[in-house]
Structure 1
């Protein structure tokens, strides 16, 4: 029998209590189902991967489209889904709270809120503003049952402000405001990761691995990392293969299809899914 939303959320929350797990990021129902077939215990959406699949850039997708995508991803598998909910789709705390309640209603088991502005001249929200928005997300989750994991994100290293001290201060403030898990995408070194883990302990930390890593999963676990996500990396890998094959085709060559998945294998994977 399929698990209920409450069961998936309870399982996802329990995954954050001990150990270290990989949280892969599919971009559509098919990629989600394939990841489920490999035995992953949870998945996370990727705002960039989904945006690219619709012919748009990251952070250019409407709230309604994201909510529809979240519902589709929740329905695609029996796994808990963590939502990349960007900046919460609201300029003020009340608007963020409204958006978060709508996201929770899709059945996601977790969701993240960023502190980036999208403005290159001032790429980060003032910490007081970011805290107020995260606290509003916390209240919205609590008013919706309280079992959805809230992830607080400090975007410093992603937006060109690689200030570790400010990153740590922001993550500590987000933890105090009610974030269940903390995330600073873009940190890479042992020292940076260890500092983040120590700053918010005992709350769990997510680390992003988007390219060739200097650290293994076992080494990340030894540093105290609780979960490891890959953002748009799987989508970029798929796009890379497609672009190489398409470029070859545009040049009159057909060798770009080497290594492609077989039709029978894909049909077998998705048989009975519709």
Structure 2
């Protein structure tokens, strides 16, 4: 398949109630291993990619290095590859569009793109994030690529679950604005309240991505809540490293 065909197929895999499951990978080796088990698509996790190279999260891994890693992943597997692009390594929409263009040229077919101010505090204002999403989509149009932008909101991740209900209306407002700007999906990492997840999937027009994290455990459960995409974030990398440590302990 061409890159554009992979992108279209990737988008088609997002089905409400029959979600695309992405067991996040971090390099060409992990990508090849998961693809060999029949995964129809792959996605990196920023924390895992950074940790695998000795960096912290939040865009500590240099952009040039990230692009090299993604290029190698895309050259190694035949399935679509989406990249956790965090905040896109830029604030200004013009610079952000150029970074997105370079990422597209690695062979990637989509991104996670968050509204958190990376290496800063708080979230981008809705109007600012809308302009940033539009810049990415414009760059994709220039590259003739149906690039999948999974618009992530950080309203829930790292915050007290007791406050999550208070963020519901803002989450819905952001989802609507991001959709209007051209986003293709809406990602709500950190939200584990089943009732709130169901309310969001019912109200949002975009396919909704839920992160699998405690107390969430079952794909079928999230499918019933209306998720169209389920991802595992850094969980896969952390488990792999624990298994590696245990294997070493077993030979001592």
TM-score in terms of structure 1 length = 0.83
2:212 is equivalent to residue 209 of structure 1: yes
Shift of the alpha carbon at 1:241? 2.5
C-alpha contact 1:117 1:124 (8 A) present in aligned 2: yes
Q: Partner of 2:233: helix, strand, or coil? A: coil
Q: Partner of 2:34: helix, strand, or coil? A: helix
Shift of the alpha carbon at 1:213? 4.1
Partner of 1:193: 197
Aligned length: 245
Unaligned runs of 5+ in 1: 249-254, 258-274
Q: Partner of 1:156: helix, strand, or coil? A: coil
Q: Partner of 1:102: helix, strand, or coil? A: helix
- Provide the C-alpha distance between the structure 2 equivalents of 1:17 and 1:76, rounded to a whole number of angstroms: 27
Partner of 2:130: 131
Partner of 1:169: 173
- The CA deviation string for residues 197-238 of structure 1, in whole angstroms up to 9 with x for no partner, is 12312x21111113x443521121122111111111100111
- The CA deviation string for residues 42-80 of structure 1, in whole angstroms up to 9 with x for no partner, is 010111111111111112111111111111111121110
Point out 4+ residue stretches in structure 1 off by more than 6 angstroms: none
Alignment of 1:1-274 (within 5 A): 3-17=1-15, 19-59=18-58, 60-119=60-119, 122-160=121-159, 162=164, 163-201=167-205, 203-210=206-213, 212-244=214-246, 248=249, 255=250
Shift of the alpha carbon at 1:22? 0.6
Q: Which has the larger radius of gyration?
A: 1
Shift of the alpha carbon at 1:240? 2.0
Q: Partner of 2:149: helix, strand, or coil? A: strand
Q: Partner of 1:158: helix, strand, or coil? A: coil
C-alpha contact 1:48 1:232 (8 A) present in aligned 2: yes
Over aligned residue pairs, what C-alpha RMSD do you find?
1.9
- Provide the C-alpha distance between the structure 1 equivalents of 2:145 and 2:129, rounded to a whole number of angstroms: 20
Partner of 1:272: none
- Provide the C-alpha distance between the structure 1 equivalents of 2:223 and 2:173, rounded to a whole number of angstroms: 23
- Provide the C-alpha distance between the structure 2 equivalents of 1:216 and 1:70, rounded to a whole number of angstroms: 29
Distance 1:118 1:111, change over 3 A: closer
C-alpha contact 1:244 1:256 (8 A) present in aligned 2: no
